[in-house]
Amino acid sequence: MTQYLAEPSTETEPSSPAERPGWWRDAVIYQVYPRSFADSDGDGVGDLQGIRSRLPYLRDLGVDAVWLSPFYASPQADGGYDVADYRAVDPVFGTLLDADELIREAHGLGLRVIVDVVPNHCSDQHDWFQRALREGTGSPLRDRFHFRPGRGPAGQDPPNDWESIFGGPAWTRTENPDGSPGEWYLHLFAPQQPDFNWESPAVRDEFRSVLRYWLDMGIDGFRIDVAHGLVKAAGLPDMGRAGQLHLLGTQALPFFDQDGVHEIYRSWRGILDEYPGERIGVAEAWTPSAQRTANYLRADELHQAFNFHYLGAGWDADALRRAVDECLDAMRPVGAPSTWVLSNHDVVRHATRLAADGPEQGLRRARAAALLMLALPGSAYLYQGEELGLPEVTDLPDEVRQDPSFFRDNGQDGLRDGCRVPIPWEGTEAPYGFGPVAGGPSWLPQPDSWRDLSVEAQSGDPESTLELYRSALALRREHPALGAGDRVEWLQAPDGVLAFRRTARGPGDGRAHGELVCAVNLTGAPVRWTVPGRPLLSSGGSLPPGEAAELPAETTVWWAV
Ligand code: GLC
């Protein structure tokens, strides 16, 4: 298929992530979705011991940190984003001791550990919510959630017109202890995920304590789920229109990105800063603009936020360039690093998302997109399996699906299981090393074709996507111009080609001591190109030596200058 050149520069020693101040500014952070990463006990569901056993793989891949999606006690109505006990590990994932061992062992390997915190809502099985239900209308425990009487003569209509992200109304009616219809409660996601009321001091105190609990366990930061949702507009006003899901991340909404959330993050920052070693907060914040996102990253708030505008830019040179510029320009005034992400557990994997013309093209573009992302200044998020070039699984039978929005109408597409299929590690029989026994179970079935995409199958094959990621991450550690800084210098390039120079400057004298050029040919045809330096890495197609060359179609190349 393709050949690439890897000739790492040896100008600077890679620094140990454990010792580096500002480690998070250019960190590559690898998302583990625990259910689907590695299953140590053979029950078909991934677990903490499984993750632990694969930590050396992550170290060798060359990432700086691991972000673990929730592994807390949960009925799993939303893959663990419905937390029943924020201080306990769900038995399906293991024990607190396993979590402790995992954190220690990761640190021993030079990997940081970021955990999810889910403060917008809990599980309907959470003790507070169960007690609030039992105690009935008027219980002070109901102040910790949004309980309201219904509208209409018999209270039969929801208190306002808000819609759940997963479809249907954002309200569910309760039953009184005597069996009669009672108040309604708000849930922006599934009915099993009641929203907390962040006006309640008890809620604020509880989360400060939960943060400390995990910080004391040694974690290096939090990914904050639905960080933009905690505070709702006073009086919970109607939206006045349907189809609210389509406005997410594009317009001001009474339940998202309210200015009141920032006070919460200022208080959280105080807690993070009490601990040594730069513990970080990463916002999952869907806001209408990069500027609104930057508000979460002011010096006394959080450290990073996901860049969903970049994820949504697709395979389009102008849109990508705009997304890069907008993010860098918005982050510079607040001094926060930009972040870049192509896939996560909520979206169609980019090897499929970017494919207009079949899986081969999808993989070619995905490889090019990865090298583009890893050449940008700031921090990059990888989603487990993208380093294997895994595609979305689009033909899961309905009976195995678990995404809660699949079961509700007019919500998020409901197809998030297709990016959560367990990882193929080795062997020739499913679950391909995901579980301990060949032929054993996996909670979602893996396609037969994944045998050839396993870690084992790709390791040592210089043309594989896994080796491309390994080379790129090794170069990123060794080459000072990658990751650092907050600028790209765009170069003149033909239509459909993005090219930029990255310059690393010394901290003392500000002098350039490393330059790199990255060019992405987004078009479907090779483009004439003057070689700017020594080729380091190409996502596809070998580069002939000499001054003039052809940049292959849908390919990214890095050169040291
Ligand atoms: C976030 C999570 C998603 C979850 C939702 C509700 O968007 O990434 O998986 O369903 O929050 O917690």
pLDDT at 309 > cutoff 70: yes
Residue-wise pLDDT tens digits, 47-100: 999 999 999 999 999 999 999 999 999 999 999 999 999 999 999 999 999 999
16: confidence class by pLDDT, cuts 50, 70, 90: very low
Domains and their CATH numbers in the chain: 23-119+201-234+249-473 (3.20.20.80), 127-186 (3.90.400.10), 487-560 (2.60.40.1180)
- The span from the CA of 87 to the CA of 100, in Å, is 12
pLDDT at 260 > cutoff 60: yes
CA quadruple 436, 98, 385, 120: dihedral sign: positive
Per annotation, catalytic residue among 163, 225, 284, 301: 225
Classify each residue of 317-355 as buried b or exposed e, where b means 16 or more C-beta atoms within 10 Å of its C-beta. Answer: beebbebbebbbebbeeeebbbbbbbbbbbbbbbbbbbb
pLDDT at 12 > cutoff 50: no
The model's pTM: 0.95
Q: Is the CB of 67 under 6 A from ligand 1?
A: no
Distance 332 CA to ligand 1 centre (A): 28
Residue-wise pLDDT tens digits, 424-461: 999 999 999 999 999 999 999 999 999 999 999 999 99
- And the tokens for 503? 């310059």
Q: Is the CB of 33 under 6 A from ligand 1?
A: no
Of 165, 222, 226, the residue with max ligand 1 atoms within 8 A of its CB, to mutate for a pocket test, comes to 226
Which H/E stretch holds residue 503? strand 497-505
- And the tokens for 242? 């349907």
pLDDT of residue 547: 66
Q: Is the CB of 386 under 6 A from ligand 1?
A: no
Lowest mean pLDDT segment, chosen from 3-7, 226-230, 258-262: 3-7
Tell me, what DSSP letter sits at residue 548?
E
Q: Which atom of ligand 1 is nearest to the CA of 118?
A: 12
Protein residue closest via CA to atom 3 of ligand 1: 346
What residue type is assigned to position 297 of the chain?
L
Which H/E stretch holds residue 367? helix 359-375
pLDDT of residue 480: 75
pLDDT at 511 > cutoff 90: no
pLDDT at 13 > cutoff 60: no
Q: 375 with 559: CB under 8 angstroms?
A: no
Of 78, 117, 415, the residue with max ligand 1 atoms within 8 A of its CB, to mutate for a pocket test, comes to 78
Per annotation, catalytic residue among 7, 238, 263, 274: 274
| Rounded average pLDDT over 513-529 | 91
- Length of the chain equals 561
Protein residue closest via CA to atom 5 of ligand 1: 81
Q: Is the CB of 346 under 6 A from ligand 1?
A: yes
Q: Is the CB of 456 under 6 A from ligand 1?
A: no
- Is 43 a known active-site residue? no
pLDDT of residue 546: 62
CA angle, residues 160, 165, 168, in degrees to nearest 5: 55
pLDDT of residue 95: 98
Task: Label the pairing between strands 489-490 and 497-505.
Answer: antiparallel
Residue-wise pLDDT tens digits, 481-509: 788 889 999 999 999 999 999 987 666 55
Q: What integer best gives the mean pLDDT of the chain?
A: 93
Q: Is the CB of 294 under 6 A from ligand 1?
A: no
| Rounded average pLDDT over 195-221 | 98
| Range list of β-strands (E), 257-302 | 280-283
547 Cβ neighbours under 8 A, 6+ residues apart: 530, 531
Among 470, 477, 445, 475, which residue's Cα sits nearest to residue 387?
470
- Is 124 a known active-site residue? no
514: confidence class by pLDDT, cuts 50, 70, 90: confident
